[in-house]
Structure 1
Amino acid sequence: MTDDLKHVVCPHCDKLNRVPAERLASGGNCGACKQPLWPGEVLELTGQNFAPHTGRSDVPVLVDFWASWCGPCKMMAPQFEQAAQGWKGKVRFAKLNTEEHPAPAGQYNIRSIPTLILFRNGRELARQSGAMNQGQIDQWLKSNGC
């Protein structure tokens, strides 16, 4: 029975929740703050909440490393948000502004943006640099076992 429980970090209070695997797609609320575990928007990561979300989640976390001055980043943003809607309960989509929060970007040696990194339980599973559209993001996730 415990194999069926997945660890999911709350996007609101950053507390760890255990959710039955079959209930991931249906959402659910955080046991601590009672907010939805799968809100409709992409999660904004910071230097403070980056490690809990990428390091403690059994659900893969796809992080878009971006900056506000980056033209390709701006073009990809709506595509990233659209892709996120189709992966609810399967992959957490998150963004990290590398200008405002340089420490995680430095830790993962981000040299070009946008760069996508797929994490699970603190491990980097895959990396892709360059802007992608929704279909390319979906295909990339599928090719990486999601």
Structure 2
Amino acid sequence: MELICPHCSAINRIPEARLNQNPNCGKCGQALHTGLPVDLTTTTFDRYITRNQLPVLVDFWASWCGPCKMMAPTFKQVGTELASRVRFAKVETEAEQALAARYQIRSIPTLVLFKDGKEHARMSGALDANGLKQWLRSQDVN
């Protein structure tokens, strides 16, 4: 399975059986599963989405958005819990307007789940931890 390092963006090949064993990057040596959402930019987005073989959940948000700020700790918490099954990432829509336009983000926060490099599902609005986990389960992300 290929995973992108959240620190140096190197592509790492990890056997599926080792995903729960806290693997480290072969290039920089840091943990591949930090549990922290990765901040994506126009430059890093495509590589991260298309080369990660785990599903990637992207939170499109803005710094001025109250619901986005309220959901940020929940997103981080669930990201830590599901680190070996789902990659969590964030796109700040004010800074990355081209990505927001490309994915037709009309309201924030908007969560977009990518599988195999393609958009699989989308949810607009803030969720609590249980709601986020339930939504991910409904998308076959356990």
* TM-score bracket for this pair, using the shorter chain length: over 0.9
Is contact 2:35–2:81 with CA below 8 Å preserved after alignment?
no
SS at match of 1:17: strand
Distance 1:8 1:121 in 2: 12
**Cα displacement (A) at 1:40:** 3.7
The correspondence for 1:14, drawn from 9, 19, 37, is 9
Q: Among the aligned pairs, what percent are the same residue?
A: 50
SS in 2 for 1:124: strand
1:80 corresponds in structure 2 to 75
Runs of 4+ in 1 over 3 A off after TM superposition: none
Corresponding residue for residue 87 of structure 2: 92
Q: Structure 1 residue 121: deviation in Å?
A: 2.4
Aligned-residue Cα RMSD (Å) equals: 1.0
Equivalence map 1:1-146=2 (5 Å): 6-146=1-141
TM-score, length basis structure 2: 0.95
1:3 maps to which residue?
none
Any stretches of 5+ residues in structure 2 without a counterpart? none
How far the C-alpha of 1:24 sits from its partner, in A, is 1.0
Equivalent residue pairs, number = 141
One-letter amino acid of the counterpart of residue 7, structure 1 = E
Deviations 1:87-114 (A, max 9, x none): 0110011111000111111111111000
TM-score (norm 1): 0.93
Q: Partner amino acid for 1:81?
A: K
Q: Counterparts of 1:141 and 1:25 in 2: how far apart (Å)?
A: 19
